[in-house]
Amino acid sequence: MKDLKISKRKPSYPVTSKLHSYLSDYNRNIRFPIFYEDLLRFQGSVVVYDKNGEDSLWIRVYYNEFERQDIDLSLKKIYTSLHSDGTEITFPFLNIDAIDYCTFGNSKPFRIKVRNIINDNYIYFYVKKADASRIYGLELEHMLSPYNLNFLVYKDTLIEEHIAGIPGDEFIKNMLNKCSSSEKAQIAKEFVKFNERCMIRLLGDMRSYNYVIVTTHDFDQVVYKIRAIDFDQQCYEGKFNIYRPQFFKENLEMVELVSEKFQQASIDQYKIEERSIVAKRLLSYNDRIKGLLDCMMNDTLSTKENVELLKSKIYDYTLDLKFKHSKNMGEILKNALDFVKRNYETVNT
């Protein structure tokens, strides 16, 4: 498998007033008591190791005592806004156990661990620098995938809920071979659908460490699902295959599993199923999707070179002339979603 090359560092695109207005309409935009930059003023840090004693690429940061009190209070406020009604009633039962910082990747997020001191249940959320690409990616995932996503934006700060699951690279390395034959077939089916969904909505760079495997215990089996966890590469790259997880060498074992378990007819069947599901979601979220795409079509999300390359590659794939006339990434995505919806409506009329 040829290794795909992607941009070493995608620039961060600012959130426009039009996008802020859209986010306000859907209760995504609220006032925070703290910003991403405030968390950068830590006094020291220690390395966080994983359960195997290896560097996790996260560091645990510390603040002076006076600042830490204010920071903890602000983070509790954000937590209740994200997961509850934003009131302070539950503050006495919450503790900010840890603030971790990741220097790896584009977003350099802070990971906040919040614990309920009554029962020791804990949950994570992330504080990141707001990037328009990521926000568009989160909204599209919320509407076009099987999963709802919870996030908030205020000025240049983004708050993201934690998406629980087994990191794809860890699952492939340590767990895939232990799965039964029927479980492997189920995982292969999910990968085909995941691959199709990413391609349709132009979510790039879904290497194995950018998605998780979610397991759910049904009454007689374990159900496996695949969820994206990184939305930084939404509508940026010019190479079409960047939006197709099957072409990353990190996913080679998944691709081989699909080839082992399915004939082409089954693969085509699952692709059609996923396109139909996406089309139904497009129809269900009609006005909201239109509002988001309107923001994207009036935004800059990539370079002219990437736009020209991508629209030519998708034209070669679909032979739809509308792609040739696309002026930016927003129009390319709109035409891609219209293509899927139009084909679905043609079959069902």
Residue at which a domain ends, from 110, 129, 148: 129
How much is the pLDDT for 52? Answer: 83
Considering its fold, how many domains does the chain have in total? 2
How much is the pLDDT for 104? Answer: 77
Q: Supply the DSSP symbol for 111.
A: E
How much is the pLDDT for 103? Answer: 83
Convert the pLDDT of each residue in 163-191 to its tens digit: 999 999 999 999 999 999 999 999 999 99
Convert the pLDDT of each residue in 220-247 to its tens digit: 889 999 999 999 999 999 999 999 999 9
Establish if 157 belongs to a structural domain. no
How much is the pLDDT for 245? Answer: 98
Phi-psi map region of 53: left, alpha, beta (phi>0 left; psi -120 to 50 alpha): left
3-state helix, strand, coil in the chain (%, to 5): 50, 20, 30
Establish if 303 belongs to a structural domain. yes
- pTM of the predicted model as reported, rounded to 2 decimal places: 0.95
How much is the pLDDT for 56? Answer: 85
How much is the pLDDT for 3? Answer: 61
Domain that holds residue 231: 166-347
- Domain of 221: which CATH number? 1.10.1070
The ranges of the chain with pLDDT < 50 are: none
Give the amino acid at 13. Answer: Y
